[in-house]
Amino acid sequence: MPGDSLLTLRRENVGRIVTEARAATADIQEVARIIVVDDAIDELELAGEILSAAGHEVLLCDGSDQALTILQQVPVELIVTDIYMPEMDGLELIRRAHRLCPNVPVLAVDGEIGLPDLFRIAETMGASGTLLKPCSKAELLDEVKRLLSSDRGDRAQAGISGLGNRQLRLASDCAGPQ
C-alpha cells in the first residue's frame, strides 16, 4: 500500500533524528557547582572563566576562610584549590573541607615544585586529584571531568543523583562548622 512506504519513511526519519540527538548530547556534561580558591586573582579569574565557559557554576574565593564559609552554606560538587596561600594554606583547607564534606572531591593545584611530596601530602589530607601549574585549559577541564565523573559514579552506586543529591549532600555529607 502507498501509505505503508510513507509510514516506513517517517519511522526511519524519527529513528535517525533520535539517534542524532543522542549523539549530539552524549558529550554534554551535567553542570556542577565548583568552588575555586586561589590568592592570585589573575589565576583565580582565569580558572573561573575556563570552568564557566565549560558550563559550570563557579564560586570564586580569594582565601580559604571564604571558601569554608561558602562550603558550609552552599552545596558544591567540587573544590579546586591552590596550595600555597597566606593565612590558611590549601592543605589546611583540604583537611577542613574533607571533614565538612567528605564526599566532595578536591583538586589541589599548585606551581610550587620546592616540595616533591607536596601533592602526596595533599592527597593524604583528602585531595582527590592534583594538577601542576601552569596547566593547559584541556588539562584543567580533563581533571575536573574525571573527578566529577568519579564522584557521580560513586553517587550512582549509592542510588543518589541530580538535584536530590545536592539537597542530601548539604544535609548528610556536611557535618557543619567544626
- Specify the pTM: 0.69
- 73-98 tens-digit pLDDT: 999 999 999 888 888 888 899 999 99
Burial pattern 1-22, b for ≥16 Cβ within 10 A else e, equals: eeeeeeeeeeeeeeeeeeeeee
Domain ranges of the chain: 33-173
Q: How many residues does the chain have?
A: 178
Rounded-to-integer distance, Cα 8 and Cα 12, Å: 6
Burial of 38 (0-12, 13-18, 19+ CB in 10 A): buried
Q: Give the type of residue at 177.
A: P
**pLDDT tens figures, 139-148:** 999 999 999 9
Question: With 0-12 CB in 10 A as exposed, 13-18 as middle and 19+ as buried, what is 68?
Answer: buried
Is residue 108's pLDDT more than 50?
Answer: yes
Residue 121 confidence (pLDDT): 78
**At the top level of CATH, which class does the domain 33-173 belong to?**
alpha beta
